[in-house]
Structure 1
Amino acid sequence: MIIMKRRNFLAAALSTPFLARAGFAEEVGLTLPDELKTPENARNNISSFRTIDWRDHFEALGKGAIVADTVSRALHFWSPEGDYKLYPTSVPISTDLTRRGYTSVINKVKNPTWTPTPSMRERDPSLPVTVPAGPANPLGVRALYLSWQYYRIHGTHDTRKIGRRSSDGCIGLYNEQIVDLYDRVAVGTQVKLI
């Protein structure tokens, strides 16, 4: 019989493919709810925890590489040396606001100000012209500006947004995690949104 603390079980369960997790849960004497055992729910339960290979998206690492997966709501980062980090994200609310393809980091800003885009102000004229750095700023404490106008990878003060479709086009991370990513990313890092 395998004895495992709940915390260790959760760490192992979240890092393994869904169907393997179901078997592992039974092996250690835990029962998953029926709705989590069905194959149609498997993709929703594991997608954010899968790793991908940078070689499937880029020819070389160069200054580093980022793949933001809008389906699994995860950002994958590789340093120039190949070190890998995975971060949960928020993603655009709709496919109309989602841009996919290749871009790059062109600027890094600590404590950014936020200016709503013209289309945001068209949809909601009550938006302020600019929001200074601080707790009301939707860009959080750091922002990576992409070569696509108005698109950012940034933090958020609203932690409820992470793991959800909640942005107007940007990729959002917890503030603590955008600080970590910001410190690792160089201007010129290649980015792909899928």
Structure 2
Amino acid sequence: MINKTNPVSRRRFLSSSVALGAAGLAAPALAQSMDPYTGQALQGTGGGATPDAGMVQFDNTQDSRRNISSFRMQDWQPYFSNLTNGAILVDLTSRALHYWSEDQSVYKLFPTSVPVSADLTRTGRTEIIKKVKGPTWSPTPEMKKRNPEWPDFVPAGPDNPLGTHALWLSWQYYRIHGTHDTRKIGRKSSNGCIGLYNEHIQQLYDLTTVGTQVLLI
């Protein structure tokens, strides 16, 4: 276990993350098959893996412009029986997030990042259980076992993989959050979480509450 304030370990962590990000741009197929923190093959989220805790990994052949025809307004009624506490629909195919307020006066449509592979993708119903402005990030115990030299803690700021705001879902380790790397939006680029531009997650953060319904399809 290292001291979370150890500057040497933090520099090592950041430099290795940048290197992995660059590798992802040069060789997208390799980047898709690797956990950006561990450097190991992706094995899903079992065993405590943290979805979307890493640098950019995406497939350049999956251009977000291909989604324009399916990036359209949706009606909430096919997906929810009511709008109590508001509702969020995440459409993984069109890579879009839809939000409806409880009184139906507000509708928002945002582009998102989505998981890179089927084994990292979770669908179904959940809800927001926690809201955090300026989220911090900590590796899971499994990550620390594999990479004991990594910092125990990444503070809020431009190096944090959760962006400026994060919404905790009832599924362990899953979030809807911002990102400081705008290249991820509109792509298969996360390890499980749903990412938004920081400007958009701030809007969603202000609109939602603990208990807001969430459906991923």
Asked if Structure 1 and Structure 2 have the same fold, meaning a TM-score greater than 0.5 normalized by the shorter chain, the answer is yes
Deviations 1:140-191 (A, max 9, x none): 0000000000000000000110001111110000001100110000110000
SS at match of 1:115: coil
> What is the CA-CA distance between 1:122 and the residue it aligns to?
7.0
Deviations 1:53-94 (A, max 9, x none): 111111000010001111111000001111210000001111
Say which of 79, 86, 94 aligns to 1:57. 79
Residues 32-43 of structure 1 aligned to structure 2 (within 5 Å) = none
Say which of 107, 112, 131 aligns to 1:108. 131
Compared CA separation, residues 119 and 57, structure 1 to 2 (3 A): farther
Say which of 76, 79, 82 aligns to 2:98. 76
| TM-score under structure 2 length normalisation | 0.65
Compared CA separation, residues 87 and 126, structure 1 to 2 (3 A): farther
Task: Please tell me the residue identity of whatever aligns with 1:114.
Answer: W
SS at match of 1:149: coil
| TM-score under structure 1 length normalisation | 0.72
Q: Determine if the alignment matches structure 1 residue 175 to structure 2 residue 198.
A: yes
Task: Please tell me the residue identity of whatever aligns with 1:53.
Answer: D
Compared CA separation, residues 173 and 119, structure 1 to 2 (3 A): farther
Counterpart contact for 2:67–2:95, Cα < 8 Å = no
Higher relative contact order (CA 8 A, sep 6+): 2
> What is the CA-CA distance between 1:119 and the residue it aligns to?
5.8
What is the percentage of aligned positions where both structures have the same residue? 66
Counterpart contact for 2:154–2:160, Cα < 8 Å = yes
Larger radius of gyration: 1
- Give the alignment's Cα RMSD to 1 decimal: 2.0
Measure the CA separation in 1 of the matches of 2:199 and 2:96.
15
Compared CA separation, residues 126 and 57, structure 1 to 2 (3 A): farther
Say which of 157, 162, 167 aligns to 2:185. 162
Question: Unpaired runs of 5+ in structure 2?
Answer: 1-64
> What is the CA-CA distance between 1:120 and the residue it aligns to?
5.5
Task: Please tell me the residue identity of whatever aligns with 2:178.
Answer: G
Measure the CA separation in 2 of the matches of 1:121 and 1:51.
42
Say which of 132, 135, 139 aligns to 2:162. 139
